[in-house]
Amino acid sequence: MKKKAFITGIAGQDGSYLAELLLEKDYDVYGMVRRNSTPENQWSRLDHVNPLITVEYGDLTDVGSLERMLRTIQPDEIYNIAAQSHVRISMDIPQYTVQANALGIVNILEAYRNNCPNARFYQASSSEMFGRSVDEDGYQRETTPMHPTSPYGCTKVFGFNMVQHYRFAYNLFAVNGILFNHESPRRGTNFVTNKVVKSAIEIKMGLREKLPLGNLEAYRDWGHSKDYVRAMHMIINHTEPDDFVCATGVTNSVGDMCKYVFSKLDMDYKDYVTQDPRYMRAEELKYLRGDSTKLRTTFGWEPEYTFETLMDEMIEHWMGIYREDY
């Protein structure tokens, strides 16, 4: 009998790649999406797999929809990937971020406990939970203290702890994947990676003149979403419930990214990139670099993409779109 997987946030970057991976592994895939006034944008990442999956409308803040779907589907695996996931925007809408990410995790954990307690549960935790904490060797790992610097990071710490609580209090197979930044052509264009790539190509084509950004000295550990959803599946299928960091271990600054992308298009980013106070964070998180030794030694996981091949894929994606349009 096929395994059944339920994915919240299935229409997002990670959800769509995870759906593809699980279909390749012969799962029956179910997903939940929030209603959106522009459904053509919401469903675009799923167009190629839409006939093969079952998707219903729901929301992490709506307990009724979660209870109904889990009771009806009876999944073997639950992947909670849905969230208000933009760190900078979480500072503008902290109340909603808490409702979606913190109250939302309680809602789905309760629906899981009450309707399909024999299932396995994966929570998308985040490197933003570490905040200002860095170990002496310059890395963050499972044992690094958590001191988040944004409402988003705070909600993710809450979710991480709630998953552990439900694991131990109710003997549930509930796990956390602490994922560092991961990108792809499917990333939203209000996230810095796709924003830089798309804007650089627009500048190259004469469609815009400048690219305003925030802190160019923010360092991040960037990987590809495809590599990270492979890790999600490994973590949820471990012999026992546990928590794992997923990261490349390589860090680059936003300025490094701009330099690489613009140079690929035969431009100097310094001629076009400006710093805009609107994109600065109230409390800037300057450095993230993950140590995924535990994940690698337990499962043999290794990233297939480097920072450079990730950026190259995103450049090629947007170049293809603009070639078609112009």
126 catalytic residue (yes or no): yes
Residues 12 and 108 in one domain: yes
CATH number for 280: 3.90.25.10
Residues 205 and 233 in one domain: no
Q: For residue 68, is it within any domain?
A: yes
In the chain (326 residues long), the average pLDDT of successive 10-residue segments reads: 96 95 98 71 73 92 96 98 88 92 96 98 96 95 96 96 98 98 93 96 96 94 98 98 98 97 97 89 82 98 98 96 76
pLDDT at 43: 62
Residues 226 and 203 in one domain: no
Q: For residue 297, is it within any domain?
A: no
DSSP string, 198-248: HHHHHHHTTS-S-EEES-TT-EE--EEHHHHHHHHHHHHTSSS---EEE--
Residues 23 and 165 in one domain: yes
Residues 93 and 227 in one domain: yes
pLDDT at 326: 60
Residues 36 and 57 in one domain: yes
Residues 130 and 174 in one domain: yes
* H or E stretch covering 7: strand 4-8
Q: For residue 298, is it within any domain?
A: no
Residues 109 and 228 in one domain: yes
Of the residues 152, 166, 272, 305, only one is catalytic, namely: 152
pLDDT at 42: 57
Q: Determine the residue type at 160.
A: F
Q: For residue 299, is it within any domain?
A: no
pLDDT tens, residue by residue, 187-208: 988 899 999 999 999 999 999 9
Residues 154 and 261 in one domain: no
User: Alpha-carbon Rg of the chain, whole angstroms?
Assistant: 19
Q: For residue 295, is it within any domain?
A: no
In the chain, the number of structural domains is 2
Residues 50 and 77 in one domain: yes
DSSP state at residue 51: G
Q: What is the largest CA-CA distance in the chain?
A: 59
Domain containing 199 equals: 189-220+252-288+306-325
b/e sequence 288-322, b meaning 16+ C-beta within 10 Å: bbbbbebbbeebebebebebeebbbbbbebbbeee
Of the residues 20, 67, 128, 183, only one is catalytic, namely: 128
pLDDT at 48: 81
Residues 315 and 229 in one domain: no
Q: For residue 11, is it within any domain?
A: yes
Of the residues 65, 90, 126, 150, only one is catalytic, namely: 126
Q: For residue 310, is it within any domain?
A: yes
263 catalytic residue (yes or no): no
Q: For residue 294, is it within any domain?
A: no
Among residues 133, 112, 139, the alpha carbon closest in space to that of 123 is found at 112
Residues 81 and 178 in one domain: yes
